[in-house]
Amino acid sequence: MHRTTIGLLGFGTVGQALVSLIRESQPQIHVAKAVVRDVHRQRSVDVPMTTRPEDVLLNPSIDVVVDVMGGRDPARQWIKEALHANKDVVTANKEVLAYHGEELLAVARESGRHLRYEAAVAGGVPVLDALAHHLSVVPLERIDGVLNGTCNFVLSAMEQGIPYSRALADAKRLGYAEADPAADIEGDDTARKILLLAQLGFHTTVPMASVDTMGITEITDHHLARLKSFHLGLRLVGTAALNNGLLSLRVAPTVYRVPHPFLSLDGPDNVVRVVSSAGTFWFQGPGAGGYATATSIVSDITRIIHRTISVNNPNTERYPIHPAKRGPYVCFTHDTDRSLPLGLPGEIRRLGSYAIVSEGFAAEELDEYGLCQFLWGEEE
Ligand code: HSE
């Protein structure tokens, strides 16, 4: 049996789960070496470690380099060096792809190598593969979904009465959160993922700065309890929509009516909805965690081994980027003793103690009325 030899850049939660998965079920893959910052740190599996990246990047016995370290630098440089050294690359690093994906995919094409990144979006859920292949023949209108396992885990825990700080500490301990969880809760991780989905789905290139991004740091258990009393729920949702040839991308805490598929996810699960001219497709499953992410990495390595993928196609469309639409919003009084003022400006509809309004209120107006407002995710 021919064995494919891989080298790792990074050896944290995902790297260790990857080695376990390979040893359990992939005898055709051999893990030769891992580049790490600290060779003395305790790991759950044994792999020869080095602090010198050239031991992997320039190692003639390594066929595929796997980036599981995260961050923009030195990942960008090391991925380019690996491709120039005639190695295929598999990466779970959404940050480097969101900022430098176009450049890295061009280097891969010029070098005649593969750069695969299924693990970078929605962990173990094979949504990039579906967009790159099956759905690439269908014009898309919209991609949206819950794309950050940590935020989903934290919000669903808060709904059960677990305090925010404890839920976030649990997400870190369970290996869902980023090394710096600010990227999760401030929405940047979701922004990177919706950008990667949009680029593949709409065959285009989008600058990171054009993703209008808001996280969950302002959400309190009081907000969630109020929403629950109205039979509503909230999730951090990334959206990419193409309207009249204009593309807009947004990340925001968004409210839906119970039951809604975005609200029924457990713990770190993710869901992606793809609305196309051929109908709506749903992709759901474990979005964070070492083992789930490792399955996507192994799948990419296996595709490279079997050469069952086409070369990376350049993104040829250039859609003008349009600011995401602001609204409609759902609003309600912060204080349960205070009633919702009658006839709010831009009111579309009201149901008991909450109203749907076409545009958001400015901070002073929210203060004046004693209101909270969140983006409304349902059709009106
Ligand atoms: N921190 C990320 C999340 C990991 O919580 O979704 C998977 O990309």
**Which of the listed residues 69, 118, 147, 178 should we mutate to test ligand 1's pocket, taking the one with most ligand atoms within 8 A of CB?**
178
What is the distance in A from the centroid of ligand 1 to the CA of 287? 7
Q: Where are the alpha helices (DSSP H) in 236-355?
A: 290-306
Contact 102, 208 (CB under 8 A): no
Do residue 92 and residue 156 come from a single domain?
no
Mean pLDDT of 84-97: 98
Do residue 266 and residue 221 come from a single domain?
yes
Q: Which two tokens stand for residue 68?
A: 């599981």
Contact 88, 63 (CB under 8 A): yes
- Structural domain boundaries, residue 353: 329-376
Domain final residue pick, 254, 284, 314? 284
Instruction: Tell me the one-letter amino acid at 47.
Output: V
Domain final residue pick, 224, 251, 284? 284
Do residue 47 and residue 189 come from a single domain?
no
Do residue 106 and residue 136 come from a single domain?
no
- Give residue for tokens 């209108």: 141
Do residue 108 and residue 236 come from a single domain?
no
Position 379 confidence tier, pLDDT thresholds 50, 70, 90: confident
Domain final residue pick, 97, 116, 135? 116
pTM for this model (two decimals) = 0.96
- With left for phi above 0 and alpha for psi between -120 and 50, is residue 363 left, alpha or beta? alpha
Do residue 52 and residue 201 come from a single domain?
no
CA pseudo-torsion sign 213, 178, 143, 350: negative
Position 310 confidence tier, pLDDT thresholds 50, 70, 90: low
Mean pLDDT of 357-368: 94
* Cβ(176) – ligand 1 distance below 6 Å: yes
Do residue 84 and residue 199 come from a single domain?
no
CATH, residue 48: 3.40.50.720
At 311 the pLDDT is 43
Do residue 135 and residue 257 come from a single domain?
yes
At 309 the pLDDT is 58
Dihedral pair phi/psi, residue 253, rounded to 5°: -60, 130
pLDDT in tens, 215-251: 999 999 999 999 999 999 999 999 999 999 999 999 9
Mean pLDDT of 197-210: 95
Contact 123, 292 (CB under 8 A): yes
CA distance 97 to 92: 9
Do residue 133 and residue 279 come from a single domain?
yes
Q: Which two tokens stand for residue 133?
A: 């292949």
Counting the structural domains of the chain, the total is: 3
Do residue 105 and residue 163 come from a single domain?
no
Do residue 97 and residue 132 come from a single domain?
no
Mean pLDDT of the chain, nearest integer: 95
* Cβ(145) – ligand 1 distance below 6 Å: no
**Which of the listed residues 117, 148, 186, 270 should we mutate to test ligand 1's pocket, taking the one with most ligand atoms within 8 A of CB?**
148
- The yes-or-no answer on residue 193 being catalytic is yes
Residue 312 lies in a domain: no
Contact 57, 81 (CB under 8 A): yes
* ω into 286 cis (within 30 of 0): no
Do residue 59 and residue 147 come from a single domain?
no
Residue 83 lies in a domain: yes
- Among the listed residues 94, 193, 228, 325, the single catalytic one is 193
CA pseudo-torsion sign 199, 202, 203, 208: negative
Q: What percent of the chain has pLDDT over 90?
A: 91
